[in-house]
A = this chain, B = another copy of it.
Amino acid sequence: MKKILFKNVFLNGTETDVLVSGNRFEKISPCIKISDTENAEIVSAKNLAILPSFCNAHTHAAMTLLRGYADDMELFKWLKEHIWPFEAKLSARDIYEGSRLAILEMIRSGTTFFNDMYFESAETVRAARELGIRACVGMTVTNFTGEEKIEKMFARLRELPKGGAVGDDGLVRFAIAPHAVYTVSEKLWLRCAELARERGVLLHIHLSETKKEVADCVAEHGVSPVRWLDSLGVLGENVVAAHVVHVDDEEIEILRERGVTIAHNPVSNMKLASGVFRAETLSARGAKIALGTDGTASNNNLDMREEMKFAALLAKVGGNPEAVPAEEVFSWATRNGFRAFGIDAGEIAEGKLADAVFVDLNNERMFPNHNLISNWVYSADTRALRHVICDGKFLMRDGIVPAEDEILSAARELPSLKK
């Protein structure tokens, strides 16, 4: 089994060695010795800190192609007049290249897993598999998807092993992504939920993002989105719900009881003026919170470090400067996220999957090192990242992502981006 020994890395306030064997952390201890007979590479990590990599709990990877395409406007106008017309032109090739661009950006900002929802999901799966990142890729389902397409997706899910994994390494899997209460009928919700249970896959949904969504749902179904989906039996531990901005205390309790994971997207919620996530209350009530960037079109990047800072600061806008400290958003972005997706990562500890970032302590924004997590959440940027490992392999080494130039060149050739 391939081994990597990181020497003199900074972890929990002290210098230590970290031995990766295969895809897991085998041993963490100062002065690890390895024999000549072991197949181990030794990497000096002097002046680097090791931290868990990020779990991006909600995104639309291929929307990198729409970065900056339309900004500073209201959600439904933005969707109807700009985003949907652009998306109508996108081909499978666009989705593949847009996904690769997104994965490049995620690797460069320290993310090793993303939970996706978009069209042509097989292309995003292909891109993730090729580039070695973990992903859960939702097959998006709406009332406009068409029966034939839905049947094809569902047939694909039935072919796959339980859990929806593609390939033997378990890094990439499919999920079902019924888009939202305003685009998916009751019948379709029930079909999706049933199949998800049967195949042991996640249901990745948008939920209670805007006031309008809630008001329309109440007008149509007599109850709010959370209550409606709960009455249909959709909500459970396999549900990852993005946004969840407009919920009352009773709905928070429903989500907690059902074990739903909430993917908080502070930047997107702020940019589209969707409302302020009830971070402090949700945290106090013990809701399962993870963090996501949403798509590039509403962010406009996929940088989980920046997202942590926004999450921590947005939580304080209500008036409490002690709400959601740095350590807490850090756990949303790492440990909590991976746990929600059943991935044994998000912590640097013996036996855990070897997903991690190595941060340069000589970077001016990581100095002085009064508090590493505070520096990482509130001060750093991607320039401080030296290496990114996923499942025991380098995705970025010494700031280099091998496929970078090829990904950018291919994206430049896309007909959809030519003026």
Q: Is A375 an interface residue (CB 8 A)?
A: yes
CB nearest to A275 among chain B residues: B319
Q: Mask for A387-405, Cβ within 8 A of B = 1, else 0?
A: 0000000000000000010
Q: Report how many copies the assembly holds.
A: 2
- Tell me the residues in window 209-262 of chain A with beta carbons closer than 8 Å to chain B beta carbons: none
Q: Are A316 and B379 interface neighbours, CB within 8 A?
A: no
Q: Are B316 and A271 interface neighbours, CB within 8 A?
A: yes
Q: Of the candidates B67, B75, B325, B380, which one forms a contact with A370 in the assembled complex, judged by CB atoms under 8 Å apart?
A: B67
Q: Is A383 an interface residue (CB 8 A)?
A: yes
A65: B residues at CB distance < 8 A: 368
A324 to B322, CA, bound (A): 28
Q: Is A17 an interface residue (CB 8 A)?
A: no
A66 to B368, CA, bound (A): 8
Interface size class of A (residues with CB under 8 A): 35 or more
Which of A136-144, A284-292, A293-301 makes up part of the contact surface?
A293-301
| Chain B nearest Cβ from A209, distance in angstroms | 13
| Chain B nearest Cβ from A212, distance in angstroms | 12
Q: Is A381 an interface residue (CB 8 A)?
A: yes
Q: Are A325 and B379 interface neighbours, CB within 8 A?
A: no
Q: Of the candidates B362, B367, B380, which one forms a contact with A101 in the assembled complex, judged by CB atoms under 8 Å apart?
A: B367
CB nearest to A372 among chain B residues: B68
Q: Is A160 an interface residue (CB 8 A)?
A: no
| Chain B nearest Cβ from A60, distance in angstroms | 15
A404: B residues at CB distance < 8 A: 364
A368 to B94, CA, bound (A): 13
A326 to B303, CA, bound (A): 18
- Residues of chain A having any CB pair with chain B under 8 Å: 64-69, 71-75, 78, 101, 104-105, 108, 267, 270-273, 275-276, 296, 299-301, 303, 306, 309-310, 312-314, 316-326, 362, 364-365, 367-371, 374-375, 378-383, 404, 407-408, 411-412, 417
